[in-house]
């Protein structure tokens, strides 16, 4: 359906009377829409699941499953709001009440005047378009609320629920879960020496590095400032440390193109296996944070695992 008007819509016509269905489909086409015809509830349901329709025109009387029950089935499978307009020989108030309760939006009684059909369809399609627009804007706002505006990766708001869900899953199935907490080294000095726009450039560079090297696009998070987290489901601390070291090396190379020159990052890694029954979302992050500060004290530009006396990798160069 085109946004500028209510023409070009896809309309599903459901009627077991082939003559009635043909007349409805012809009228729909004459109004500038695309019609698909179905003569049974099973075929209608299959078509509805294959194509995103903008409107359904349906008789209440169908063999096997009536239009009221079919309406409930369509509503349960709809990916978004789709108006359902009954075009039926039933005119009793009780039948209409049943239809509205099932999820119908409007009723037309046969025989239908083409002008009235067009007016009702236009009204339904207008509501459909406005609803789709609202759903799209809401989804965009939700995405924006869950993403860090500067780096484009997930923000701290997203981390909490994801970490909690993954930890519950790892406990249920006995799989490991690790987190790697990153802190860009001497970031305050970058801002003080080169200015905040260059600092933002460095943050964006690290965000791109994470997006490139972390396989799951929903597993990298910016905590705030220069702190980031990588969530590593079904990965022990050594696997997470290996990934963190790949990111560390890649960032050292990529940051050379920024106005700040080569920058480094320190990582701390912790995992559910090492913590055992003490593994909670807060405890995982706190112990990863401890390991990260151990990496800082070890000279920066390295990866430390919580509880491990040795740096996973020694610094490769003096941090800038």
Whether residues 113 and 235 fall in one domain: no
In the block, tokens 């989804």 appear at: 139
Looking at residue 269, what is its pLDDT?
A: 97
Whether residues 122 and 210 fall in one domain: no
Whether residues 282 and 196 fall in one domain: yes
The CATH number of the domain holding residue 184 is: 3.30.70.270
Q: Does the residue 87 lie in any domain?
A: yes
pTM to 2 decimal places: 0.63
Q: Does the residue 310 lie in any domain?
A: no
Whether residues 58 and 185 fall in one domain: no
Cβ atoms of residues 82 and 53 within 8 Å? yes
Whether residues 139 and 166 fall in one domain: no
SS3 (DSSP) at 151: coil
Q: Which of 123, 187, 214, 196 is nearest to 319 (CA)?
A: 187
Q: Does the residue 314 lie in any domain?
A: no
- From residue 56, how far is each of 39, 65, 218, 226, 271 by CA, in Å? 13, 16, 37, 52, 52
Whether residues 281 and 177 fall in one domain: yes
Per residue of the chain (320 residues), what is the pLDDT tens digit? 544 456 799 999 999 999 999 999 999 999 999 999 999 999 999 999 999 999 999 999 898 889 999 999 999 988 889 999 999 888 788 888 988 998 899 999 899 999 999 999 999 999 999 999 999 899 888 878 889 999 999 999 999 999 999 999 998 898 999 999 999 999 999 999 999 999 999 999 999 999 999 988 789 999 999 999 999 999 999 999 999 999 999 999 999 999 999 999 999 999 998 777 778 999 999 999 999 999 999 999 999 999 875 545 444 444 33
In sequence order, what are the beta bridge partners of 229? 181, 221
Whether residues 167 and 293 fall in one domain: yes
SS3 (DSSP) at 148: coil
The CATH number of the domain holding residue 86 is: 3.40.50.2300
Whether residues 299 and 166 fall in one domain: yes
Whether residues 192 and 242 fall in one domain: yes
Domain extent for 90: 10-144
Whether residues 200 and 88 fall in one domain: no
- d(C-alpha 247, C-alpha 262), whole Å: 14
- d(C-alpha 160, C-alpha 179), whole Å: 12
Q: Does the residue 91 lie in any domain?
A: yes
Domain total of the chain: 2
Whether residues 124 and 164 fall in one domain: no
Q: Which of 36, 166, 201, 226 is catalytic?
A: 226
Q: Among residues 112, 144, 176, which one ends one of the domains?
A: 144
**What tokens were used for 182?**
């990153």
pLDDT digit string, tens, across residues 239-298: 999 999 999 999 999 999 999 999 999 999 999 987 777 789 999 999 999 999 999 999
Looking at residue 93, what is its pLDDT?
A: 85
Q: Among residues 144, 162, 180, which one ends one of the domains?
A: 144
Q: Among residues 98, 125, 144, which one ends one of the domains?
A: 144
Task: Reply yes or no on whether 226 is catalytic.
Answer: yes
């Amino acid at each position: 359906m085109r946004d500028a008007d209510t023409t070009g819509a896809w309309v599903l016509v459901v009627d077991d009377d082939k003559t009635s269905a043909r007349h409805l489909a012809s009228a729909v086409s004459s109004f500038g829409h695309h019609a698909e015809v179905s003569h049974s509830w099973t075929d209608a349901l299959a078509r509805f699941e294959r194509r995103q329709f903008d409107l359904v025109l349906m008789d209440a009387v169908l063999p096997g499953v009536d239009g009221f029950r079919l309406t409930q089935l369509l509503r349960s499978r709809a990916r978004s709001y789709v108006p359902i307009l009954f075009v039926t020989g039933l005119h009793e108030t009780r039948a209409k009440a049943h239809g509205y309760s099932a999820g119908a939006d409007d009723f037309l009684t046969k025989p239908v005047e083409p002008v009235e059909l067009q007016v009702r369809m236009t009204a339904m399609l207008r509501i459909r378009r406005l609803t789709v627009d609202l759903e799209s804007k809401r989804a965009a706002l939700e995405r924006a609320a869950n993403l860090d505006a500067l780096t484009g990766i997930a923000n701290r708001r997203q981390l909490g629920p994801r970490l909690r869900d993954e930890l519950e899953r790892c406990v249920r199935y006995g799989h490991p879960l690790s987190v790697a907490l990153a802190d860009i080294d001497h970031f305050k000095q970058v801002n003080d020496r080169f200015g905040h726009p260059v600092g933002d450039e460095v943050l964006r560079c690290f965000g791109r590095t994470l997006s490139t090297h972390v396989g799951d696009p929903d597993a990298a998070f910016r905590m705030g400032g220069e702190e980031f987290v990588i969530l590593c489901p079904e990965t022990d601390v050594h696997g997470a440390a290996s990934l963190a070291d790949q990111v560390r090396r890649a960032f050292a190379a990529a940051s050379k193109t920024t106005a700040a020159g080569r920058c480094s990052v320190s990582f701390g890694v912790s995992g559910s296996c090492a913590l055992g029954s003490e593994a909670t979302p807060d405890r995982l992050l706190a112990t990863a944070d401890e390991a990260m500060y151990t990496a800082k004290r070890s000279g920066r530009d390295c990866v430390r695992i919580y509880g491990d006396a040795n740096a996973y990798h020694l610094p490769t160069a003096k941090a800038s």
